[in-house]
Amino acid sequence: MRLDILHVRDCPGAAVLNTLLAPILTKRSDIQVTWRIVHDEDQARQYGMTGSPTLLVDGTDPFGRSGQQPSLSCRLYPGQDGRPRPAPSATQLSAVLHKG
């Protein structure tokens, strides 16, 4: 499985995502992770970033919504309690990564 994490420099959500992914990745040697800094709107469009951070699993955004546009803005994810979060929860990440 391949994870591409697209983010803008100094994105606080990317740091949260990294912290949440770390324990999952220690148990999954089959997952390759690439962190990519996106510098401008053209790159956001090219790579499919719809806010920072965007997580692509084998090229697909499992948390994407129809109609989302490329963006360099901070991205918020709906938490399990319905409140916005800077990254998917550990439970949400585990569910997505165990499908692959």
Q: Strand ranges (DSSP E) for the chain? A: 2-7, 32-37, 50-52, 54-57, 71-74, 77-78, 84-85
Q: Quote the CA–CA distance of 28 and 31 in Å, as a whole number.
A: 6
Q: Which CATH code is given to the segment(s) 2-99? A: 3.40.30
The 10 Å Cβ neighbour count of residue 10 is 9
Q: What is the pTM of this model?
A: 0.91
Joined together, the tokens standing for residue 20 give 């949440």
Domain range annotation of the chain: 2-99
Task: Specify the pLDDT at position 80.
Answer: 81
**Which 3 state secondary structure label does DSSP give 61?**
coil
Q: What is the pLDDT along the chain (100 residues), one digit of tens a residue?
A: 999 999 999 999 999 999 999 999 999 999 999 999 999 999 999 999 999 999 999 999 999 988 899 999 999 999 888 899 999 999 999 999 986 5
